[in-house]
Structure 1
């Protein structure tokens, strides 16, 4: 998959991340939020099904990793801005960070939220990778049947 296409697929998810981090569009609050949240992944699935690739699984796994890293960057850049993630971290991240001394708590909180972001990205990429590999296998199977 060309780098430009990977970056476009990753970039599709950034508006929701930025708007949610800045509390402009609250998570799970409106139709707009769901459009911003689900459209990028619908496009990923569409590209996974339609686009021919020699390495469909690897392509979307890389897209997922890049998406996870983009989440980390956005969350960290906007950490202290307004009502962002730094002011409203997930409860699980706070629980994790509270296991550390005050000197390490902030780093633990940021590390935990970064880990969550990477797991979300890799998970989304893995799901799209499975779909892309299945579509690739289906096309190859049809081509073999047509050739025989």
Structure 2
């Protein structure tokens, strides 16, 4: 088995691919609610923090070998889903008035090329955001697993 498969496989992450994607999907309702402005700030806060708590609880409950890595991977998957949902809801989110380049770049590109640039940066931004969220939750998971004996990963025998 290649080193990459071992690093990102169930053996090292402690969860199947389907479970990782399923956990990432728990965050998608917040993205939809935010883009379509469906909820107020209190409900939005619940939709922000409950998925992260679910990620953390599942990873610690399953006592995965490396909580940081597992939560980082979940965050990257979440970032990808975030990016895709933002692209799908782009027109509705901006109510027909999408963002435009400003300053020295205003009018420098054709309309379609400007949209490609803006959507491309939005996509990358979502990936970075997901990875950062996964890393932040991963640090919390790693610290809890290190300090609470009942949450430590199963030892390999």
Contact 2:60 2:67 in 1 (8 A): no
Equivalent of 1:21 in 35, 38, 62: 35
| 1:12 equivalent in alignment to 2:20 | no
What is the alpha-carbon distance in structure 1 between the residues aligned to residue 60 and residue 97 of structure 2? 37
Gaps in structure 2 of 5+ consecutive residues: 1-14, 153-157
Alpha-carbon distance in 2 for matches of 1:9, 1:71:
13
Does residue 108 (structure 1) correspond to residue 117 (structure 2)? The answer is yes
Query: Counterparts in 2 of 1:129-144, with a 5 A limit?
Result: 129-138=138-147
Q: Select which of 113, 118, 121 maps to 2:127.
A: 118
Give the match for residue 84 of structure 2. 73
1:146 paired residue number: none
Encode CA deviations 1:36-63: one digit per residue, 9 max, x unaligned: 1221112223334433011222211110
CA drift at 1:73: 0.8
Contact 2:59 2:70 in 1 (8 A): no
Change (3 A) 1:58 1:86: farther
CA shift, 1:34, in A, is: 1.5
Q: How many residues align?
A: 136
**Whole-Å separation in 2 of the counterparts to 1:37 and 1:51:** 22
Change (3 A) 1:88 1:9: farther
Task: Give the TM-score of the pair, scaled to structure 2.
Answer: 0.71
Query: Which residue does the alignment assign to 1:56?
Result: 67
Compute the TM-score of the two structures, normalised by the length of structure 1. 0.74
- Give the secondary structure class of the aligned counterpart of 1:46: helix
Question: Cα gap change, 1:76/1:70 in structure 2, threshold over 3 Å: closer, same or farther?
Answer: same
Q: Root-mean-square deviation (CA), in Å?
A: 2.9
- Unaligned runs of at least 5 residues, structure 1: 144-148
